[in-house]
Structure formats: structure tokens, C-alpha cells
Structure 1
Amino acid sequence: MKVLIIPDVHLKPFMFKQAAELMERGIAKRSVCLMDIPDDWDKQFDISLYEETYDAAISFAKKYPDTAWCYGNHDLSYVWH
């Protein structure tokens, strides 16, 4: 079985659009997102980019519920403060 790996996102919502397109084309049966969704250089105050990125991630997760999501060090830093 082919698995699509979505690498560290770092506030690049287009990655979820590209991943969805690949999944729709049947390139892979499952997907794994390595997360690190937040944080990109000098973007810490760009709230709209955070919203856009998390909205894209949520939409992808709803469309592909079998996706495995792996916390990255950037994701965990927010949980652990």
C-alpha cells in the first residue's frame, strides 16, 4: 500500500491542497502528516495565516479521516508551553 507523507507544514496551507489532489488521483491509499503545523520565520503574528493553515488541516482531516497525525516538536511546544 502506498502512503503519502505530508512533511513539516510550518504555516504552508497549500501543502494540504496538494496532498488532497494526490489522494484524489489515487497516488496513495493512506496519508501521514508529520505536522509541525505552526511556526515559520517572522510569521508569528500573522493570525490569518495560522487560521488558513489550521482550517486547511482540519478540512483535510475531515476528508481523509484515516490520516495519521504525528505531533512535531513545534506542535508540542504549544501544548507544553
Structure 2
Amino acid sequence: MNIIWNKVNELNTSIYLKNRLYLGVRILVNLIIGAFLWVAIGRFFLQGYMWLFCFMGYPAIFTGFYGGMIYLFNHEFA
């Protein structure tokens, strides 16, 4: 989380844009991780593209969006 925030924080933009960009990048990273997990494990046991969407969507929402919101709420950034 800190690596993503440090890269976003280096940009010369407003704090609101940095927060939105941080959340977007976290969601995208977790979405890609979920897709790789499905490709590695799920396609052998849980076949079908609906499972792919589940493997991508749940991590993106819960760890990406909600985890990112909790991270931003618990830290002060100036």
C-alpha cells in the first residue's frame, strides 16, 4: 500500500486527485491479481468465465476499494 501511495504522492496534483488515483490503481492491481489466481488455480476447478469475474471482482472491491479507503482514512497525508 505504501509503495502505491508513495508513487502517487510524487505527482504534482491536488490531494483529491491523488486519493482517487490511489484507489483506482489499488482496484486495478487487485483485479489483476484475482485474474491471475483464476488462471493459475480456478480454471481447473471452477470453470467458466463467471468464476473469472468473481475472482476479479471480489478482491477488487473488498481489498482494493474498501482496503484503500481504510488506508486513506487511517493516515494523514499532507
- Shared fold per TM-score greater than 0.5: no
Write 1 or 2 for the structure with the bigger share of strand. 1
Query: Structure 2 length as normaliser, TM-score?
Result: 0.32
Write 1 or 2 for the structure with the bigger share of helix. 2
